Amino acid sequence: MSLEAHGLWFGYTPGQTVLRGINLRVDPECVLFILGPNGCGKSTFLACLHGALTPDRGNVRLEGHLLSQFSSRERAKRIAFVPQIHEPVFAYDVEEFVLMGRTPYVRWFSGPSPADRAYTREALSVVGVSPSANRPYTTLSGGEQRLVLLARALAQGGRYLLLDEPDAHLDPGHQHQVLSLVDRIAADGRGVIISSHNPNNACAYGTHTLLMRDGAALNWGAPEKVVSAMSLEQAYGVPFTEVRDEAGRRAFLPGRPPVAARRSG
């Protein structure tokens, strides 16, 4: 019972390689953070993991079977994908938007059942957004949009969730709100993969970390092992300083001493 990638190679055009033989495994109740610089292939990797892109070499296995053997609907019932924040063109209501998560359950040529609507309302109550009608998704704040996207993934009912930078463009309070919700979702028996630019969130909320550079894994395993000042410098190309509080929480400060201190000194 896991979602696994075995030696994935992928390029958008012949001759180009975005992913170079990457491996990964996520089990239920795991929260796996993928860290790596811009353009290292995180989003491409996520797209391969839910079959939006087909790897050139290697394969993705879902619960022991090749992902390509699942029909679109059967795959969607197992793996949900939460995209980066974006503005949809049409202003669907919050409830209508979350209801789209039930698409793989709606039979061809049919509409959603009362049960589908019940799942939708339940998912909204889990993320704590009121389903009050006539609120267009496009008018929500960034934090609320993230929560509604999560609710849609929950309504989809899969065991695996792929989140593309769910902490981007959010203030620290909303980052905490979203990521502790993700933690709760994972504790319910779901496997979560998160791409992120924030190593501190990986340490605070993750059970596993995959550190990537140039489409390959630099390191992977428990965040205590994988995330260090040295490995982060290797990945991002800037020096990092590790700080630790009394409770043992770790955080990493990138770059040199603060600009203000240097100017005054």
Partner 1 sequence: MRKRALIVAGSLLLCLAVLVLVLGIGRWYRPMAGGDRLWISPGNVIRSLVGAEGVSDRDRVVVTGLRLPRALAALCIGAALASAGAAFQGLFRNPLVEPRILGVSSAAAVGAAGGILLGMPQPSIQMAAFVMGLGGMGLSWALARRFGASLLVLVIAGIVVSSGFDALLGLTRYVADPHSVLPGITHWLLGGLGTVRWAALWPLLAACGVGFTALMLLRWRLNALSLDEREAHALGVPVRRLRLVVILAGTLLTAASVATAGVISWVGLLVPHAARALVGPGHARLLPASALLGALLVLCLDTIARSAVPGEIPLGILTGLLGAPLFALLLLRRLAGAGGWR
Q: Which is nearer to partner 1, 1 or 52 (CB)?
A: 52
Nearest to 82 by CA among 162, 175, 183, 179: 162
CA-atom Rg of the chain in angstroms: 19
Q: Rounded CA gap, 200 and 223, in Å?
A: 10
Find where tokens 């590790």 sit: 242
How many CB atoms sit inside 10 A of residue 107's CB?
A: 9
DSSP code at position 93 = B
Q: Which is nearer to partner 1, 90 or 260 (CB)?
A: 90
Binding site for partner 1 (CB under 8 A): 47, 50-52, 72-73, 75-77, 79-81, 83, 86-93, 96, 100-101, 103-104, 106, 108-112, 136, 138-139, 156, 162
Q: Which is nearer to partner 1, 65 or 249 (CB)?
A: 65
**Least gap, CB of 195 to partner 1 (angstroms):** 13
**Least gap, CB of 224 to partner 1 (angstroms):** 32
**Least gap, CB of 106 to partner 1 (angstroms):** 5
> Is 204 in a helix, a strand, or coil?
helix
Q: Which is nearer to partner 1, 83 or 221 (CB)?
A: 83
Q: Which is nearer to partner 1, 101 or 166 (CB)?
A: 101
Pairing of strands 191-196, 3-10: unpaired
**Least gap, CB of 183 to partner 1 (angstroms):** 22
Tokens encoding 191: 């496997």
Helix (H) / strand (E) containing 58: strand 57-62
**Least gap, CB of 89 to partner 1 (angstroms):** 5
Find where tokens 């919050």 sit: 94
